[in-house]
């Protein structure tokens, strides 16, 4: 499943790479977040076998993945491969994920993510620790760049929270899926993430980073008490580094205050309120527990 917005050329490359897998997926779902660049027409003409969901407005990555996962569950999926539209999987990526999934039955298996220069991508490299599975470090969270989910665990835990819009939706969701469950990094499953740069000045998007982290720490059950403290300290350190790197600290300061106020004032709305009526899914599956 791929979520896309206004990046038809990158999407075409991603879909071509998915089609070239040594073990192709049984179905491909493309969620178009109301793009205006001809994305839907491209999918219909060049990838007619894809199950295309064209949303009537932009729901962000969080809403797109929530809608796409709901559709995959409707189709009876047993495992879900999630991917951004700027991700190029190498030919064996899915086969290696499925091999790990079949042998060890993790709730989640994540690919190794490289940047365009061949280095491990600093934005998509989960913290890992030794595990009882040789060659597969254990992870506590992952990004939606390339991750395989057990559909039964998804049905148990529900959907991503669409109101996150962007940033930290995958962090909260994978933390939720992996609380008390096994998550594995699959180093032999490799994808390349075509971001503009590994580090950038986040600008006004810092609002979502702050608001969504407040929601995660105060309203989600994805973390245990000890974890909550450790992750909160790590987040504060990242925010300090962000201010140190930024060329627009006054703007970041405004977004920090705006995000804090929005996060404290109210929590994320239910998915059936945020998502388009035609693709709401089960409102009960949007809970953060």
Reported as a single tens digit per residue, the pLDDT across 46-63 is 999 999 999 999 999 999
Residue reference for tokens 């660049």: 37
Q: What is the pLDDT of residue 282?
A: 39
Q: Range with the lowest mean pLDDT among 86-95, 157-166, 199-208, 275-284?
A: 275-284
Structural fold of domain 2-286: Spore Coat Polysaccharide Biosynthesis Protein SpsA; Chain A (3.90.550)
Instruction: Dump pLDDT digits (tens) for 85-130.
Output: 999 999 999 999 999 999 999 999 999 999 887 777 766 667 767 6
Please give the average per-residue pLDDT across 126-155, as a whole number.
87
Q: Break the chain into its structural domains and give their ranges.
A: 2-286
Residue 201 binned pLDDT confidence (cut-offs 50, 70, 90): low
More confident of the two residues 24 and 242:
24
Whole-number mean pLDDT of the chain? 88
pLDDT above 90 covers a percentage of the chain that reads 71
More confident of the two residues 226 and 3:
3
Q: CA 49, 51, 53: angle at the middle one, nearest 5?
A: 145
Alpha helices in the chain (DSSP H): 8-19, 39-46, 60-74, 93-104, 151-157, 169-178, 206-219, 225-245, 249-265, 271-274
Q: Are β-strands 183-193 and 29-32 bridged in parallel, bridged antiparallel, or unpaired?
A: unpaired
Residue reference for tokens 């239910």: 270
């Amino acid at each position: 499943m791929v979520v896309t917005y206004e990046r038809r050329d990158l999407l075409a490359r991603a879909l071509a790479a998915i089609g070239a897998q040594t073990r192709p997926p049984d179905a491909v779902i493309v969620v178009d977040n109301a793009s205006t660049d001809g994305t839907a027409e491209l999918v219909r003409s060049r990838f007619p076998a894809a199950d295309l969901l064209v949303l009537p407005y932009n729901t962000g990555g969080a809403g797109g993945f929530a809608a796409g996962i709901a559709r995959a569950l409707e189709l009876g999926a047993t495992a879900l491969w999630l991917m951004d539209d700027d991700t190029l999987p190498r030919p064996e990526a899915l086969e290696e994920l499925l091999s790990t999934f079949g042998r060890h039955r993790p709730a989640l298996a994540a690919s190794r993510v490289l940047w365009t220069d061949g280095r491990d991508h600093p934005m998509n490299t989960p913290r890992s620790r030794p595990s009882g599975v040789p060659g597969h470090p254990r992870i506590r969270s992952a990004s939606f760049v390339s991750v395989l989910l057990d559909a039964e665990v998804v049905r148990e835990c529900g959907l991503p929270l669409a109101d996150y819009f962007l940033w930290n939706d995958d962090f909260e969701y994978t933390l939720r899926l992996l609380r008390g469950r096994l998550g594995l990094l699959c180093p032999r499953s490799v994808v390349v993430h075509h971001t503009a740069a590994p580090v950038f000045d986040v600008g006004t998007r810092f609002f979502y980073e702050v608001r969504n982290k407040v929601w995660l720490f105060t309203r989600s059950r994805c973390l245990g008490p000890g974890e909550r403290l450790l992750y909160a300290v790590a987040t504060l350190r990242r925010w300090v580094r962000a201010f140190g790197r930024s060329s627009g600290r006054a703007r970041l300061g405004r977004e920090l205050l705006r995000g804090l106020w929005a996060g404290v004032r109210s929590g994320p709305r239910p998915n059936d309120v945020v998502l388009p009526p035609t693709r709401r899914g089960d409102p009960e599956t949007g809970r953060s527990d």
